[in-house]
Structure 1
């Protein structure tokens, strides 16, 4: 069957007129050889083309008919050479390299650079990274320069939480769900990871965390592939994850299907010490949260003609992360003696679902490169929370005193978003121009019913119930231009305009909040390549960080009898000016300097009332901040089988409060260090050892304690790399969780820590079959920013 497909490819008109294919499979010691150098020269010795062998030892070259000299070499083996005459498709089959007896005579052959630096992004070539190729998309992202993966959160140094895309399509997941999804993507399927600290004008202006774009490898037509992965996680409790991805690409049709689910439980622990004037309150919570999740998606593209493609796309998920927890508050007096205890038993039922629909058309207008893209998107998100809790008061000897509080709160939220987006690529003789427009319409409805159940009957408390409706319309335009000045200079400049109208209405309070604003968001990039060893890059971008919808909702959600969380309908967006300078030496040593300025900054404020001893978690626009840092990153092959990637940063900040919180800003320097090391015991066996350290730091309202973590893993490939077995011990010493998170508001000190099973054991299997050269186009959705804000 494979032979028939290959001959069919050879009969395609384009190939018949230009090129044929040469392929083979390189082995040594009865195992595939990965990254062997395959060089093709003409009879005069001039290099025509070349490649590196893949994980299964295979290689493919596209070339014209003629006479050539083929040379294949790899560290520790004798080079293989052969003169060949190419007139048609040629498969050389297995090529066996003989191991050398004297390794001292081996020469190291240069490879493609691991990291490339463009005017607006860093490109990390995963294909050339031993560390990344030994794992999945999470390890590939974590190995990229300046990227941190910590506590199931992905961020770029100097930024906030970072959004992740696959081939330009935003993945609308966060936390554990995002990590689990990325775990299902094998690093062997990834060509590169793009780190975009300041996204160009084409992208939404919302969000200050930058973008990470995963570029999948391109594949051949008339092929398909299926990958099934199973993961078992064990800490205090265990959960299981199963996922399947199917890709199909034939002639005019491209299809991608994925489905997955997770079931099990996770242990949650929290501790909060609040130092009231009358004594310390010690809160400790232990919970058991379900990890039940089901998700799936489909993408279909059809080439109507050589120039026009029509496509549809769907993704959906259903989560039920119910939790059952017990909270104990020890109330101490000024002599540090326990006066009483509050014991809260809660049952938290949560159900949420999201559905995204996209239809798009892409058409090439001419042969000069003009291309028009139109996207129509619809997104619907539903969430329901049913929270039951009872708080009893006990004496120090555990004698029952009274029922402090008993209640049930039921809340629902529904978000709908419709958007249309048009993008135009318009190359001109003097500049590569692109421009576009977008219109977005958002409607969010939420309500909360609070019932007092202390009498045994559910009695509605209207003072603690509410209805809230939020509407937001966004009209945006952008223009972006790229220009190369010779071989050394390149610059890019862009401008995005966004016009926003918002309206929030609280039914219970009878309060309407209306806001309208028009803002401009410029971007600028400049690169200078002095020579092969020295490159300089500078970029600037202005961004806006809009509140997620739940932060605008004034609902009061009770965490226990002495604490609640509430949103703020008057919350304003914050604005960020980001400056970044990078110097690169020989492609391996990178010096980075950044400076970010935030105005109208908003965030969570932990406030405590010294009279009622009630904990209030609110959201406020309360600060202005300057955040800066300088760091070095260095990648080195210590010895042929040991690759090490290291980075060290010194970070600092200066914060100013506007008086909305009764607190004094605190700032200090921070040291952040990380090292990722991969040891290749053979072509199919790899050991990974990663470590990070973050010193204690004071930044604005909060102080964070020291963090560090050691992860150890091993990966084994069998069945010609079709089956991947991995074992991971995450956070070996259980030190990578949030601790000593301290704030002082209203002269009341609070110290918080949280550990949601940071240390765990993971065993995973991934099996692939079909044709691993498949390529299915992924389409970026038009309402990426709106869906992000539902999280």
Structure 2
């Protein structure tokens, strides 16, 4: 099968090279100068735009104000802009193979400068044929925040207090970093929260991914694009943050751009503490006894990280990029949990304090090598090869001490030792050929290798000695290989566009418990088609339709039958026999764009089979949660996103999502058929105040919803931030408060005939203060913690 796939890929790549239709290219040249002093304007923007208003291509001027840009479009005009200057549009010129505009003078405009600064600091959303791009601005509430906080501000995305990411209320989301799988986005490493807001350029939300993307993720794909400055000369930024609970960091970002090289580096260090309040009640309904657990957990983390990379521009058409990153984290995870045992008359019969002392060392590194070839006929005619390697390790030890406070009965003291590693390798080949202004062909292949090991040991104290617990000790090995090839063809005219694609993937998965020799092997091949269409009724209104088929494969912690024993009465286990779930996604979207407002709405339907669902079982008052494949889920929903700018100083934006779902399935002779709904909304308000102050307010609400065994409660929370800009934005001071009313909670119930379980978690209020300063041609940006 693999040889067949490779042969098909080679044939497709060779075939696409014959589809190029030669067109006459027109080259536009000129020099941009200041109308006042006639000095050259370096880094001004020159854009070629079709008569219909569609932007075709663009460049920036060099240090002498010169530019050269080419296009095959027959009718176009030229837009020239620069920060602090009035933009100029040139429509009258003689069409030929070479168009020399000579010297073009731009006039200064102080009001325009203020407006550009505001726009640059605010997040915006851009709509494309098969995705939405959320350009991350310097939102005040993101000061001192990580990627999870940024994602929680992105339309359609919700992040739970435990860090679970959902898209339109659905789990099964594939997280990519710069378009590729990464250990940073894996559930095992918990490293996604260490990417900081200032490192993120944009977030792509792809609810119906085309066949170009890996088929993983039944709910869609979230692609986080990290920043990489490429301004000529030497640029940099220095920043420092502090906060409560502890969130202290310093960071430096540097960039040096020459004619042939772009060097970039970021490094920083800091300390953070994340408290977490938890409460649970296990009720045995056969004898009316209860177990109550409540306490506070901490994740205290000291860290250091550095990123190094370079782009080598071999010539105008070939670029080689090499980057690497290293992070070292030292964790201290103390916790104290009180466990109380109650009889049928609600009388406390015994209680003890379970204290945890956990320490861990986490080395993380990754490297990325990429070769990009652009062809002479079109800058979008590209061959791209990339390889990514990454490693995450965890050496962790824990000690649990039980001290009786009521009565004398306790569970034994325990120790654990964990040796965990994850090695990932990704090889990608992508070829894009826009063989005319309207038609584009894409093809490529991916080969991904995931190799994970988790050596986990538990020891119980018996008669003063530490004795291994054979039932909880084992070495779990996880190996997965995915080979895929794809092809897409797209037509995009002035009003109508369509994109068709097909992806073929083969998955080979092997898990092994080495101590007990329990093995699970899975090998399957699937086809994943995709269809996207768009129709532009006029300049203000357009429609998009899409269909894709997706898969969510079980991850390590879904399969690993062993988990931590922080609370022996609430345990999460994996299921080595868990199967992947598949989904068919349908969507129609309308987009309205007005002078001061934009509005888009989507009606979607998601049909999922072999749904992976966490199911609770109960024995001896212990709640064990295990993922299972349970039936099907049909979800139909409505999503609305909008933005309104009544005046230049005020921007209002929001999004609303409502979904109705129907579940069908059985497990161990228990019927799980039920239906329910789920909805959420977010409103963001930004105000420009006097003296270069900005104010930002964000409110969120997520409704409750039923689950296969109970329900999850709803909650609301709010964030607020204030910013002061100094020296025309070269320095910025931010003050932010996340979860102002300490109301962001996670609360769930399980209701069964013979038992019930209640769980509650809360993070609480966070205060952050940050200051940053830029030099060279860089912009002030806040480094807010641990990141790659």
TM-score by length of 1: 0.79
Q: Which residue of the partner structure matches residue 586 of structure 1?
A: 593
Q: How does 1:353-364 map to 2 (within 5 A)?
A: 353-364=363-374
Say which SS state the counterpart of residue 566 (structure 2) adopts: strand
1:411 maps onto 2:421 in alignment: no
What is the CA–CA distance in structure 1 between the aligned matches of 2:360 and 2:673, rounded to whole Å? 36
Cα distance, 1:149 vs structure 2: 5.6
1:716 lines up with 2:724 in the alignment: yes
2:44 is aligned to none
Note if 1:421 corresponds to 2:428: yes
1:705 counterpart (707, 713, 717): 713
Indicate the SS of the match to 1:560: coil
Is there any run of 5+ residues in structure 1 with no aligned partner, and where? 1-13, 26-37, 39-46, 67-85, 99-111, 775-791
Would you say the 8 A contact 1:239–1:291 is kept in 2? no
Of the three residues 390, 398, 401, the one matched with 1:379 is 390
1:520-551 per-residue CA deviation (whole Å, 9 max, x = no partner) reads 11111011111223211111111111222232
The answer as to whether partners of 1:651 and 1:671 remain within 8 angstroms in 2 is yes
Are 2:560 and 1:553 aligned?
Answer: yes
**Counterparts in 2 of 1:640 and 1:59: CA distance versus 1, 3 Å:** closer
Residue aligned with 1:343, SS: strand
Change beyond 3 A, Cα 1:219–1:406: closer
**Equivalent in the alignment of 2:131:** 121
The Cα of 1:122 is off from its aligned counterpart by 2.3
Aligned residues: 696
The alpha carbon displacement at 1:59 in A equals 6.8
Structure 1 position 771, deviation (Å) = 0.9
- Partner secondary structure for residue 617 of structure 1: strand
Residues 434 and 440, structure 2, Cα contact 8 Å, conserved in 1 = yes
Residue 620, structure 1, aligned to residue 634, structure 2: no
Q: Alignment partner for residue 599 of structure 1, among 584, 603, 609?
A: 609
1:767 maps to 773
Shift of 1:676: 0.5
Deviations 1:257-298 (A, max 9, x none): 112333132221111111112322211121232132333222
Cα separation, partners in 2 of 1:391 and 1:142, compared to 1, 3 Å: closer
For the structure 1 residues 209 and 59, does the alpha-carbon distance in structure 2 shift closer, same or farther, using more than 3 Å as the test?
Answer: farther
Match of 1:756 among 750, 760, 763: 763
How big is the shift at 1:607?
Answer: 2.6
Are residue 251 (structure 1) and residue 259 (structure 2) matched?
Answer: yes
Taking a change above 3 Å as real, the CA distance of residues 523 and 628 of structure 1, as seen in their structure-2 partners, is same
Structure 2, unmatched stretches of 5+, are 1-24, 37-46, 48-75, 94-100, 113-121, 781-788
Q: 1:132 to 1:640 in 2, by over 3 A?
A: farther
Deviation at 1:494, TM superposition (A): 1.1
Residue 533 of structure 1 corresponds to 540
Match of 2:695 in 1: 687
Aligned-residue offset at 1:216: 7.8
Per-residue Cα deviation, 1:77-108 (whole angstroms, up to 9, x for no partner): xxxxxxxxx9548686x65569xxxxxxxxxx
CA contact (8 A) 2:144 2:769 kept: no
Deviations 1:459-513 (A, max 9, x none): 22333311222222221111111112x4221011111111112222212222221
Alpha carbons of structure 1 residues 97 and 345: separation in structure 2 relative to 1, 3 Å: closer
Q: Work out whether residues 237 and 779 of structure 2, in 8 Å CA contact, stay in contact via their aligned partners in 1.
A: no
**Could you give the per-residue CA deviations for residues 696-749 of structure 1, whole angstroms, max 9, x where no partner exists?**
22243441212101211111110221111111111111111212x112356421
For 1:23 and 1:661, how far apart are their aligned partners in 2? 79
| Equivalent residue, structure 1, for 2:197 | 183
Tell me: CA distance 1:178–1:227, structure 2 relative to 1, closer, same or farther (3 Å). Answer: farther
What CA distance in whole angstroms lies between the structure 1 residues aligned with 2:234 and 2:26? 21
Deviations 1:234-254 (A, max 9, x none): 14xx23122322222211111
**Residue equivalent to 2:214:** 204
Equivalent residue in structure 2 for 1:648, among 656, 666, 670: 656
1:408-450, Cα deviation, whole Å (9 max, x unpaired):
1212122223332211123335731111112233322222222
Deviation at 1:688, TM superposition (A): 0.6
- Normalising to structure 2: TM-score of the pair? 0.80
The answer to whether the Cα contact below 8 Å between 1:663 and 1:745 also exists between their aligned partners in 2 is: no
Secondary structure of residue in 2 paired with 1:530:
strand
Instruction: For residue 721 of structure 1, give the secondary structure of its aligned residue in structure 2.
Output: coil
Match of 1:630 among 638, 659, 663: 638
Aligned to 1:11: none
Alignment counterpart, residue 435 of structure 1, candidates 430, 434, 443: 443
Instruction: Note closer, same or farther for the CA distance 1:666–1:750 as it changes in structure 2 (3 Å cut).
Output: farther
